[in-house]
Amino acid sequence: MRILITGGAGFLGSHLAEAWLERGDDVTVLDPASDVKIRHLRANPKFRVIRESVLEHDILEGLVAWSDLVYHLAAVVGVEHYVGDPYQVLTVNINGTQEVLAAAFRHAKKVVFSSTSEIYGRNTAVPFHEDSDRVLGSTLIDRWCYATSKAAGEHFCFAFARMGLPVVVLRYFNVYGPRLDQMDRGRVVTIFMGQLLRGEPLTVIGDGSQTRAFTYVDDAVRATVEAGLRREVEGRAINVGSEEEVAIRELAARMIKLSGSSSRLISVAKEAVYDQGYEDIPRRVPSVRRMRELLGVRARVTLDDGLGRTIEWFKRQ
Ligand SMILES: NC(=O)c1ccc[n+]([C@@H]2O[C@H](COP(=O)([O-])OP(=O)(O)OC[C@H]3O[C@@H](n4cnc5c(N)ncnc54)[C@H](O)[C@@H]3O)[C@@H](O)[C@H]2O)c1
């Protein structure tokens, strides 16, 4: 098969590209970012990188026409962007998704859309089922622009599905693993990682009681490949995650223990890290029934195992 991965130079896309290449398929990545996460794939003759934006209409059109299956991962991701550049988040995540879906519709190609657990917002009724409510804060709080942009993307997916486009929505829950982000940047695991490897205190925001269900990247990729292959999931939204709920404070403690570091934990007020544009979510845990029943995938990698592998990878860098 010919696989197009928008945003394929990113963390999840790089692993997904690897998985499809291992199956013997052709993979093209459309992403303007540096190729540092996919450099190891460049020698493969079945692999190609186009360093352009999904917003480049003609390039996108040609690549969608070439492909058999489109994974739309391109997005502006990371809390620093939600609160720092909401315009870019909204533009790429909404307009880019509309462009990709419209091109796929014109060429009758299946799309797998990368959505997020952020969609559920601060709904407190965990675990989140795919039809659970979205509970979002005010539009005056910038952090909600990401969840809103992904929700708009989902609405576009379902609108195109009604018109006959084969499309699947995957809602990822805190995927982590090697190549996640640069140390100290982006998501909580990489921020802790930088502090850990320098022996500095791990900075937990607030009291650290907020929980997440972290999903090791190999499990997320298996689900993502299945979503591309299975016809019966078209038109559906599916949570992709692990049920292993952990408080951020406990995550930090486990990372310290697993790495053998002498770091300790400290609490910092959220105002010291983000300005008014930030609001944290107390609990975030998926119902994984659909992932199990529709995709035939269950998260196999435990948090300790996945964190151990991730710490080892970062230590080698
Ligand atoms: N990793 C997670 O835990 C997680 C959770 C929920 C949702 N997601 C979704 O999965 C997808 C991949 O996430 P990730 O963790 O790999 O993030 P990432 O930031 O590593 O990857 C996103 C990629 O999109 C690219 N991109 C940005 N603007 C683009 C544009 N205009 N055209 C083409 N590419 C563009 C970036 O350069 C980047 O390489 C995203 O859509 C994200 O919203 C990820």
pLDDT in tens, 195-253: 999 999 999 989 999 999 999 999 999 999 999 999 999 999 999 999 999 999 999 99
Which residue has the least CA distance to atom 28 on ligand 1? 75
Q: Which of 11, 29, 218 to mutate to test the pocket of ligand 1 (most atoms within 8 A of CB)?
A: 11
**CA 165 from centroid of its chain's CA atoms:** 23
- With 70 as the cut, is the pLDDT of residue 27 above it? yes
Q: How far is CA 281 from CA 132, 203, 239, 275, in A?
A: 16, 17, 17, 16
Is 216 annotated in the active site? no
Catalytic residue among 71, 146, 176, 216: 146
Residues with CB under 6 A from ligand 1: 6-7, 9-13, 30-33, 53-55, 73-77, 92, 96, 114, 116, 172, 174-175
The DSSP secondary-structure symbol of 287 reads -
Give the residue from 258, 231, 239 showing the smallest Cα distance to 298.
239
- Whether 238 and 130 have beta carbons less than 8 Å apart is answered as yes
* Three-class secondary structure of residue 168 per DSSP: strand
pLDDT in tens, 186-204: 789 999 999 999 999 999 9
- Whether 153 and 313 have beta carbons less than 8 Å apart is answered as no
Domains and CATH numbers, the chain: 2-176+215-243+280-300 (3.40.50.720)
pLDDT in tens, 261-302: 989 999 998 776 666 656 778 899 999 999 999 999 999 999
Compute the distance from residue 277 Cα to the ligand 1 centre, in Å.
Answer: 21
Q: Which of 71, 77, 171 to mutate to test the pocket of ligand 1 (most atoms within 8 A of CB)?
A: 77
Q: Which two tokens stand for residue 184?
A: 């100290």
pLDDT in tens, 110-162: 999 999 999 999 999 999 999 999 999 999 999 899 999 999 999 999 999 99
Give the residue from 79, 77, 82, 98 showing the smallest Cα distance to 172.
77
Beta carbons within 10 angstroms of residue 122's beta carbon:
16
pTM for this model (two decimals): 0.96
Ligand 1 atom with the smallest distance to the CA of 54 is 32
Q: Which two tokens stand for residue 215?
A: 């999903």
